[in-house]
Structure 1
């Protein structure tokens, strides 16, 4: 009897992801049960929301992050 090894597709983290982004990806994938593509998309959304906009102070940035997160939650419902 011959055994055939079937390679599973592996996911390599993009180079612009930090360790925290990798942690979020693993959390979304394993704890939330999302597919690889859905988890990657959620991490990219997190990176986009948390980006720094030139000339924006900390309070305004946090307010913008909250608004964008609420808009995403409303869209998911």
Structure 2
């Protein structure tokens, strides 16, 4: 029985703007941030051929694809933050 837990983490960042809804103060106005994102997957089994949990390229590509939908956007107009 394999009880070892493997973790793989990738990091990336993006820049976006937003305004806080129903907030009284400067942050109610449009302003921007640089966001740092960390994505971690974990599992108990490594692939037999490469002995990896998941290829870094697969995880990095997936994260980049998601962050492209947020980068240099107005988050208040971008799902799911538009609600």
Q: Scaled by the length of structure 2, what TM-score is found?
A: 0.34
- Structure ranking higher in helix proportion: 1
Which of structures 1 and 2 has the larger relative contact order (alpha carbons within 8 angstroms, sep 6+)?
Answer: 2
Structure label with greater radius of gyration: 2
